A and B are shown apart, each in its own frame.
Chain A
Amino acid sequence: MRIRGVIFVFFASMAAMTVACERRSSGPQDTTGEILVGMYGSLTGDGASFGQSSVEGAQLAVEEVNNAGGVLGGRKIRLLVEDDQSRPEEASSAVTKLITQNKVVAVLGEVASRRTLAAAPVAQKYKIPLITPASTNERVTQVGDYIFRVCFIDPFQGEVLAKFAYNDLKARRVAVLKDIQQDYSVGLTDSIQKTFTGLGGKVFDPVSYSSGDADFRAILTQVRAQKPYAIFATGYYPEAAIIVRQARELGMSMPILGGDGWVGDALKNGREALKNTFISNHYSGQNPDPIVQNFRTAYRAKFNREPDSIAALGYDAAKVLADSITRAGTTEGPKVRDAIAAANVAGVTGQLRMNPSRDVVKPAVIEELQFADGDVKYVYRATINPN
């Protein structure tokens, strides 16, 4: 009697296999018609706010490219967006689908390094170029030569911030608040610690919080007791705004420093507390450069809100891709990959050139923040060039 069950299962699995089969050799590539570009990001789940920003930035860029006539002789780019629900395994499924089902020619995404690290091996395996707008963990581009990024890597930004604090602010004892749920923050913290201690300063043990936290008074009180000269808050803008406010409420008036993750509309909720804070940046809404201002205006018109740094990076990633496809003259993976490696594009977040590790090389600026007229003002302090 069990044989019946076994045979049933056998045929069921055979049927499933047949359904899942496909012919191995794919036909000649489509040389006319739309160019399909895949994008994966967190549209739901705890990464959703940044996921949405990155997608919006990319969508704006694609729209602009198409309105200007498309690429490769008038072909329009179509951006296929897949949600990964803020989960690494979904990121892999989404990218697998985009590459093997939708046959996209390139992939954009993701923001969180842990999701990019999960999905990048898929792109590398199928030799489809992948550009991440905002994953800062060093290991992302080490996955393979088809993986690129248009953002700082943690070590660089950490160096920038640590040097500024040590040399310009003359800080010798600092405390660090890190967001343990964000690889960006953890990586930046490690890098700051390394550089600052290397310069001869003292870094107290980093104090951790989680993104989504809204009450930092307990940890800030502990930091206050350590009497640091300056504090680093290496997480993203929603928490940064509150950290700054609550720190000042607790009577802590020392300089507070952060990375490019601080740039976001919600930062203005830090209000007057933002006095005496500094960030390292590549995108500043106040930069009078027409590239930046045009981006801001267009983004505001389309999405009805201020772009944050993640949106700017999403925009730049898409622009670099479009530019590379044009230079490559084709949509074939290897050729596009080579074109990206040779990219030199004026982006919203700086002049984008790839170094041999496929990380973008661009200077960082240090800006001092102020709160005036109900908004955040960024005052230029210094430029740090990558060496």
Chain B
Amino acid sequence: MDTFLQQFINGLSLGAIYALIALGYTMVYGVLRLINFAHGDVYMLGAFAGYYLANSLNLDANPSILGAVLVTMGAMAICAGIGIVIERFAYRPVRHHSRLTSLITAIGVSLLLEYGGQVVFGATPRFFPQMISSRTYSLGGVQITNQSLMIIVVSIVMMFGLEFIVHRTRIGKAMRAVSYNLPVARLMGINTDMVIAFTFALGSALAAVAGVLVALSIPRIDPLMGLMTGLKAFVAAVLGGIGSIPGAMLGGMLIGLMETWISATSYSTYRDAMAFAVLILILLFRPAGILGTSVTEKV
């Protein structure tokens, strides 16, 4: 029972990371119908941005909550900027081309960030400084670190924040309008370019938070860390229902739990494959995802 509970907690905190990244995927897909392959790499950049910021603030020697918050906000700002730049220079020129072209462009950006990261940061993995002193709480036979707790709490807070933005603000309304029908939204007077840029910025900022949070509890970062994690987060977004924010959250948690469960069996090396197996099953039997709405295609 101990082990089961422990794995449950492990799964939740892993899932929360996927959820944060999945939120970004789902938003961009909802608005642009584009699978932003580079999103996982923005997460990586968030971790690196946090790394440099934390080191410049010398947090390893003086861990502090304030420092951590500053670093996170800094990383969010940097990644939001990066997201906007990517959208403006790589995705906007191909927006009117075919979906295939956009997808390939996204792949190109992803490769650029990865290989570029290896050149700029060097391929050797870095270790994130400890911004907050680590503490482990013991409840029965279950250990949970304060970082794991933080990850879960912060992602839930972020999700509520996102829901608020999307459903209770004007820009959120504009985002939803663009996701329903872009040309008509433009006709209605919405500055679609700005809305799309904002969507990218928001998603990228969330990825940055994920990057910093992950780096806190699993301190190893390297330029290729975004690839697999990004793909699995995408699977989570599809699982939960692409375009749905609570869906991304749910999908992320589920993928995290499933992955932890698989790791716990003797099939642990099939872990990565499992995410894809789940994806395939979902797309075959319920393509809209768990919380997604079925869209009938008008011919």
Binding site for B on A (CB under 8 A): 43-44, 46, 48-49, 51-53, 180, 205, 207-210, 212, 214-215, 217-219, 221-222, 224-225, 238-239, 241-242, 249-251, 266, 269
Contacts and interface: CB of A to CB of B under 8 A. Distances in A.
B294 interface: no
B264 A219 contact: yes
B125 A49 contact: yes
B123 interface: yes
Nearest to A209: B268
Given A214-B214, A221-B7, A266-B127, A249 B143 contact: yes
B124 interface: yes
B296 interface: no
Given A48-B123, A219-B264, A222-B264, A214 B10 contact: no
Contacts of B259: 218
A207 B123 CA distance: 27
B263 A218 contact: yes
A266 B2 CA distance: 32
B222 A205 contact: no
A355 B233 CA distance: 50
Contact of B260 (A209, A210, A218, A249): A218
Contacts of B261: 218
30 contacts: A44-B118, A48-B118, A48-B123, A48-B124, A49-B123, A53-B124, A207-B266, A207-B268, A209-B268, A210-B272, A212-B228, A215-B10, A217-B6, A217-B10, A217-B260, A218-B11, A218-B268, A219-B264, A219-B268, A221-B10, A222-B3, A222-B263, A224-B6, A241-B220, A242-B218, A249-B145, A250-B6, A251-B143, A266-B127, A269-B220
B115 interface: yes
A241 B220 CA distance: 9
Contacts of B98: none
A251 B272 CA distance: 27
B14 interface: yes
Contacts of B263: 218-219, 222
Given A212-B222, A238-B220, A241-B220, A224 B3 contact: yes
Contacts of A46: 224
Contacts of A44: 115, 118, 123
A251 B260 contact: no
Given A53-B124, A241-B127, 8 more contacts: A49-B122, A49-B125, A208-B269, A212-B225, A212-B228, A221-B7, A238-B220, A266-B125
A209 to B, nearest CB: 7
Contacts of B222: 49, 212, 238
Nearest to A181: B269
Contacts of A222: 3, 7, 263-264
Contacts of B124: 48-49, 52-53, 266
B10 A180 contact: no
B138 interface: yes
B8 to A, nearest CB: 10
A220 B237 CA distance: 28
Chain B: number of interface residues, binned into ranges: 35 or more
B264 A221 contact: yes
Nearest to B7: A221
B7 A215 contact: no
Nearest to B262: A218
Given A52-B122, A249-B145, A250-B143, A218 B264 contact: yes
Contacts of A212: 222, 224-225, 228
Nearest to B259: A218
Given A221-B3, A222-B3, A249-B136, A208 B220 contact: no
Contacts of A251: 136, 138, 143
B120 to A, nearest CB: 12
B219 interface: yes
B220 A210 contact: no
Interface in B238-283: 259-261, 263-264, 266, 268-269, 272
A214 B220 contact: yes
Contacts of A239: 220
A158 B29 CA distance: 50
Interface string B95-134: 0000000000000000000010010001111110000001
A215 B218 contact: yes
Contact of A221 (B6, B123, B127, B269): B6
A214 B264 contact: no
Interface string B200-243: 00000000000000100011101011001000000000000000
A281 B222 CA distance: 26
6 shortest interchain CB distances as A-B pairs:
A48-B123, A218-B263, A214-B218, A49-B124, A269-B127, A218-B260
Given A49-B125, A52-B123, A52-B124, A242 B220 contact: yes
Contacts of B115: 44
Contacts of B268: 207-209, 218-219
B125 to A, nearest CB: 5
Nearest to B265: A222
A218 B220 contact: no
B220 A266 contact: yes
Contact of B219 (A219, A242, A250): A242
Q: Which of B3, B126, B269 counts the most chain A CB atoms within 10 A? A: B269
Q: Which of B127, B138, B224 has the most CB of A within 10 A?
A: B127
A245 B6 CA distance: 16
A53 B123 CA distance: 10
A207 B271 CA distance: 12
A50 to B, nearest CB: 9
A264 to B, nearest CB: 9
